[in-house]
Amino acid sequence: MNEEAGKRVHEKSRALQSRAELLFPGGVNSPVRAFRSVGGEPPFVAKAQGAYLFDADGNRYLDYFGSWGPMILGHAFAPVVEAIQKAAVDSSSFGASTAAEGDLAELVMSCYPAIERLRFVSSGTEATMSAIRLARAATGRKRIVKFEGCYHGHSDGLLVKAGSGVATLGIPGSAGVPEEIAALTMALPYNDLAAVEAAFAAHPDEIAAVILEPVVGNAGCIAPAEGYLEGLRRITAERGALLIVDEVMTGFRLALGGALERFCLDADLVTLGKIIGGGLPCGAFGGKLRFMEMLAPLGPVYQAGTLSGNPLAMAAGMATVGYLKEHAARVYPYLEKTAAAVADGVAAEAAAAGIAVTTNRVGSMWTWFFTGEPVADYEQAAKSDTKAFGRFHRAMLEAGVWLPPSQFEAMFLGTAHGEAEVAATLEAARGAFAMF
């Protein structure tokens, strides 16, 4: 660790930030990285190993965002690194069919019985955008239902009261999205089945699909209420709309078969990303055969991608998902136990300091909301004290613990986080709360 008299130095990161602001809007290639909602200056990462990030000035940080989900096995996990290196010597892209795509698809489909056919893309945004187009074609309907606080990537029709990024920036949708397109998307309160029933009653035979995060991560972590997911499955089936379960964040995170396995849920279409690429750009969408065979070149729905099924992403995904499948019996209970130790331990430190925090956790994703009230939807999450979260974030960062830079994001940990990391996190939190 690089320190002067107990203070961390950040001169290299500051210099890199100055240059970045002459190159990228806000100095970043994705808004949340700019730390706008938590304050302070984002360190520039130079490398990472296991549970740790190292910045350009040599400072070490415990990583609790894990590239926003993909790094479930820790950074530079040897089997993943070796798989990428091995694939790279045979070229990084072909733009032609490969065995590797089939290998990863078979592995993914062995974990997701709901997926009868699959299509790889290069991001979660592409996956959800494509699934929506498919649902509209399959039903001949135009309207979409999403939920406030859920984020499904930045395609026009889904930037309507979205969560991650937009919620953090306080933008209720996004400039540049035509109102005609936004008007086709209804953003309903999460965990409210009556609102969904009312939407279908108001627009009978017009709603193509309901898309949701089965466990919300983009408003901070919000769990589905008892019976909620089953209710959505029932209503959409009754009303002839598709249920699109966006597992970009929860896939392979909450269980080997994601939320569909954890909550015994069926879906018409599923979207995946993050972990499926082992940290390389990769997304996927898939589901029932009768819908997927509408995709070009078989059917009338066009969807394409230069780097779809990229061989390096396939190799990293195979190494990651393959390891998770082989060791699932050990990995998922471990992640559950370790995440509970961190989430509940920090909550106990807050309580001891007299600070109101609500902890929502499902598996190894969680959020500490700075509020004394329960958080079951975005409206309740938005009542959190984001300034307090900002103070907490800055204090933890200075103590070497890098939390996601937003109250409206989920924390993640992976198999590289152990007892030492848990203890260091609780100690850092104790110190942070002492400064409140």
| Footprint of ligand KE4 (CB under 6 A) | 30, 32, 68, 123-125, 128, 151-153, 164-165, 213, 217-218, 246, 248-249, 273, 283, 409
How far apart are CB 235 and ligand KE4 at their closest, in Å? 21
* Least CB distance to ligand KE4 at residue 273 (A): 5
| Cβ nearer to ligand KE4, comparing 123 with 371 | 123
- Give the CB-side neighbour count of residue 403, counting CA atoms within 13 A: 35
The residue (of 259 and 341) whose beta carbon lies closer to ligand KE4 is 259
Q: Do the strands 401-402 and 60-63 form a parallel or antiparallel pair, or are they unpaired?
A: parallel
- Taking the C-alpha atoms of 421, 352, 370 and 392 in order, what is their torsion angle to the nearest 10 degrees? -50
143 neighbors 207 (Cβ within 8 angstroms): yes
Dist CA 246 CA 158 (whole Å): 12
Q: Which is nearer to ligand KE4, 165 or 278 (CB)?
A: 165
Query: Least separation, in Å, of the C-beta of 83 and ligand KE4?
Result: 20
Whole-angstrom Cα distance, residue 105 to residue 235?
Answer: 30
Q: How far is CA 355 from CA 177, 200, 268, in A?
A: 40, 42, 43
Concerning whether 246 is annotated as a catalytic residue, the answer is yes
Other residues' Cβ atoms within 10 Å of the Cβ of residue 339: 22
**DSSP per residue, 204-230:** TTTEEEEEE-SSB-BTB-BPPPTTHHH
* Residue in 151, 323, 332, 378 annotated catalytic: 151
Which residues in 343-354 are b (16+ Cβ under 10 Å) and which e?
bebbbebbeeee
What is the distance between the terminal CA atoms of the chain, rounded to a whole angstrom? 25
Q: Which single residue is written with the structure tokens 């592995």? A: 107
Q: Which is nearer to ligand KE4, 111 or 272 (CB)?
A: 272
**Residues 416 and 50: beta-carbon distance below 8 Å:** yes
- Cβ-closest residue to ligand KE4? 124
Residues 289, 134 contacting (CB under 8 angstroms): no
Distances (CA, A) of 232 to 136, 197, 212, 223, 271: 18, 9, 10, 14, 17
Name the strand (E) or helix (H) holding 366.
strand 365-369
Nearer to ligand KE4, 77 or 412 (CB): 412
For the question of residue 332 being annotated catalytic, the response is no
Residue 154 C-beta: closest distance to ligand KE4, Å: 7
Report, in Å, the least distance between residue 300 CB and ligand KE4: 25
Contact residues for 396 (Cβ-Cβ < 8 A; gap 6+): 402, 403, 428, 429, 432
Cβ at position 343, least distance to ligand KE4 in Å: 18
Residue 179 CB partners (closer than 8 Å, separation 6+): none
* CB nearer to ligand KE4: pick between 217 and 286: 217
Nearer to ligand KE4, 151 or 200 (CB): 151
Least distance (Å) between residue 378 CB and ligand KE4:
14
User: Which entry of 57, 63, 246, 268 is annotated as an active-site residue?
Assistant: 246
Active site residue 151: yes
Residues annotated catalytic, as ranges: 151, 246, 274
